[in-house]
Amino acid sequence: MTPIVWTYIIYIALSIPLTVWVAQTLHKNGRVFLIDSFRGNEQLADSVNHLLVVGFYLINIGYVALALREAVAPADLRQVLETVSRKIGVVMLVLGAMHFFNIFVFSKMRRRALLQAVPPPIPPQAHVSVTTQ
């Protein structure tokens, strides 16, 4: 096998498990956060959690597949390692960006849910009697 094929194999073997690990972490630890965001609606939170993870897999594995091709073929082991390292580095940065974007979306939803329960910020200045119909 040529060095470029080794590069591809190492790249795939590292980036796919990495994606799975990040997705699992998000799925496991995001659940509590989501349940809070949906004000205790566990079913909805689980559903959204699952959908988010599916989207996460699609985008990341899609990116890994797209970024596989390497124009300049590495000649020796040193170049193989360098190429793999660069490619994995980019994948990790993409995963990190996706991860923070997900957290941002979660926290925005959570803040909105919490906002709904906020009491009036100021006390009333007077009282009148209100006639209801």
Partner 1 sequence: MKCLYVLFDADCELCVRCRNWLMQQPAFVPLVFIAFQSDEAQRRFAGIDALNPGEQLLVISDEGAVYRGAHAWVMCLWALENYREHAQRLAHPVLLPLARTVCELLSRNRFFLSNALFRQEPHSAAQKVAADYGLRKASWQSARCSR
- Choose one: 31-39, 72-80, 96-104, 122-130; the region binding partner 1 (CB under 8 A): 122-130
Asked if 127 interacts with partner 1 (CB under 8 A), we say yes
- Crossing angle of the two packed helices 3-37 and 42-66, in degrees rounded to 10: 160
CA 79 – CA 23 distance, rounded (Å): 30
Asked if 109 interacts with partner 1 (CB under 8 A), we say no
Q: Which is nearer to partner 1, 29 or 129 (CB)?
A: 129
Structural contact between residues 106 and 33, judged by C-beta atoms closer than 8 angstroms = yes
Asked if 108 interacts with partner 1 (CB under 8 A), we say no
Asked if 29 interacts with partner 1 (CB under 8 A), we say no
Side-chain half-sphere CA neighbours of 123 within 13 A: 2
CA 59 – CA 66 distance, rounded (Å): 10
- Choose one: 7-15, 30-38, 64-72, 108-116; the region binding partner 1 (CB under 8 A): 108-116
Asked if 124 interacts with partner 1 (CB under 8 A), we say yes
Tokens of 6: 């080794």
Asked if 104 interacts with partner 1 (CB under 8 A), we say no
Give residue 39's region: left, alpha or beta (phi > 0; psi -120 to 50): left
Asked if 66 interacts with partner 1 (CB under 8 A), we say no
Q: How far is the CB of 48 from partner 1 (least distance, A)?
A: 20
- Contact residues: partner 1, CB under 8 A: 112, 115-116, 118, 120-122, 124-133
